[in-house]
Structure 1
Amino acid sequence: MRALVIQHDHVSPPGAVGRRLEECGVEIVFHEVVPEARHFTPDVRTVFPDVAGFDLVVAMGAPWSVYDEERIGSWVSDELDLLRHADASGVPVLGICFGGQLVAAAHGGAVVPAERAEIGWAPVRTDDPSLVGEGPWFQWHMDRWDLPGGAREIARNDASSQAFVLRRNLAVQFHPELDAAMLDLWLTNGGAQVARAHGRDPDELLAETVEREQAGRTRAAALVDGFLDRVSELTGH
């Protein structure tokens, strides 16, 4: 199997999600949208690969808002087209945080500012713990989605919807891929100031992530397995 991983910037790799895909025998092909040199000016031009060459697509997180096309440029509409084409072609999609919001927007849902930002580790209420566990999961988002028509919400918390399934698409609002090294990259690329602005201590966030990293990796592996077995039906029986 081959997976197209859409990595929107240099600090948002697939982490624990990518490792589990590789453990399951999936070959990962990366498409980086915004190169490191354009991190603060992300209105780049990019040509996305044809999804016909892949068995699944993983759309990763990003520090921007789906609706901020003036800042991030036309590649958002191109990626929305890719996700719609994947769905129409039966290619499964896993969307993570920004990627999950893109899945919602691609299929008729809305992405809007959340009433409050979520930063840090938090549990979720889940209807399907064998697919999306109760966590805690790492959160870092200022936006939320309204569900697209036909979607089945499977997890939520007091801040926002946290996961939904739509045909062979799974969208999650949290970051199952995150590890301490990745969080350190976020914090050193402007995230520390964002965390402080929302009342979170960056050092405490990093220390808690180190403590939770192994358990988080186990939960991420279970989520990937559930996606492959039950949502994508690529490995299920």
Structure 2
Amino acid sequence: MSSRALVLVHDPAKSRRDRIPGALIPAFARRDIDHHIFSFVCARGSAPAPDISAYDLLVVMGSHESADDPRVPWLAHELAFVTKAVERGTPTIGICFGGQLLARALHGEVTRADFPERGFTVVKSDDPDLIPQGFWMQLHADSFIVPPGATELARNASGSQAFVAANALGLQFHPEITVDSFESWVERWVESGGLPRVGDGGLDPDALRREIAQHEQDSVRACDQLVDTFCTRYMR
């Protein structure tokens, strides 16, 4: 019997949503995990939130919004949903914004990163079976503070990069990145009025695209290993 994963994305365009999870999708398919994509960005007031009890795994993807910005209209609704999932024991993976939102659901905090990150940086891991040590894609100016009772698993000069609390895994980096998933980000940025700022400098999409292409095969393999270890350890 296959498992079911709910993937929360943060893009109003339904045409892009299937591309955002990138390397996670083939990793799920290899493990007979069906996935359903949902977004609170457009859903509030127009569609009911999914029934989390119908899923065996929750994944919360990145966003160009801040996970600690009360002006984001859908944020409180999604935070309540993720908190409910964690409280009921649903295995959960939070990625970048999703990791920060997961930290908040676990009574942690989100703060400005010591060093905002763009592109691939080295992550030091205490658990290389779950998080292979090496280069991971980054794009963030905020960071999570490891929640009370959670265990930090990985870090770099910018701050904490991963934590685990029971069966909830928070990541600051983007294991899902592929060239195509990055293109979906760029399309969203253009529609939103321009590229985001990360730290003091602007973004160079062409440079990031080349860097992602250079690391893509290794990154996809590392993502597959992360998913495999997480499922083996934390999914019933």
TM-score range, shorter chain: 0.7 to 0.9
> How far did 1:33 drift?
2.5
Partner deviation per Cα, 1:42-80 (whole Å, 9 max, x = no partner): x9656421211111101111001011121x21x222222
Q: Report deviation, 1:18.
A: 2.1
Provide the C-alpha distance between the structure 2 equivalents of 1:210 and 1:93, rounded to a whole number of angstroms: 28
Deviation at 1:211, TM superposition (A): 1.4
Residues 86 and 205 (structure 1), Cα distance of their counterparts in 2 relative to 1, 3 Å cut: same
TM-align CA RMSD? 2.1
Which residue is 2:122 aligned to?
Answer: 123
Distance 2:9 2:169 in 1: 17
- Answer yes or no: is the 8 Å Cα contact 1:195–1:201 preserved in 2: no
Which residue in the other structure is 1:185 paired with?
A: 184
Residue 118 of structure 1: SS of its match in structure 2? strand
Show the 5 A alignment for 1:190-205: 190=190, 192=195, 194=197, 198=201, 201-205=204-208
Runs of 4 or more above 6 Å deviation: none
**8 Å CA contact retained: 2:64, 2:196:** no
Q: Structure 1 residues 213, 202: CA separation in 2 closer, same or farther (over 3 Å shift)?
A: same
Q: Distance in 2 between matches of 1:198 and 1:135?
A: 24
In structure 2, C-alpha distance between the alignment counterparts of 1:8 and 1:186, rounded to whole Å: 10
Kindly state the Cα deviation for residue 97 of structure 1 after the two structures are TM-superposed.
0.5
TM-score normalised by length of structure 1: 0.87
Q: Relative to structure 2, which stretch is displaced further, 163-172 or 110-119?
A: 110-119
Rounded to whole Å, the distance in 2 between the matches of 1:111 and 1:222 is 27
Aligned to 2:33: 26
Q: TM-score, normalization: structure 2?
A: 0.87
Are 2:64 and 1:57 aligned? no
What is the rounded CA distance, in whole Å, between the counterparts of 2:128 and 2:52 in structure 1? 30
Q: Within 5 Å, which residues of 2 pair with 1:1-237?
A: 1-9=3-11, 10=13, 13-34=20-41, 45=45, 47-70=48-71, 72-73=72-73, 75-188=74-187, 189-190=189-190, 192=195, 194=197, 198=201, 201-230=204-233, 232-234=234-236
Deviates more, 1:193-202 or 1:134-143: 193-202
Deviations 1:78-105 (A, max 9, x none): 2222222222222100111101101100
Deviations along 1:177-236, whole A, 9 cap, x unmatched? 111122233234247563696265332221121111111100000010111111x233xx
Give the residue type in structure 2 aligned to 1:69. Answer: P
The change in CA–CA distance for 1:49 and 1:130 in structure 2 (over 3 A counts) is same
Quick one: percent identity of the two aligned structures?
Answer: 37
Q: How many residue pairs are counted as aligned between the two chains?
A: 224
Gapped runs of 5+ residues in structure 2?
none
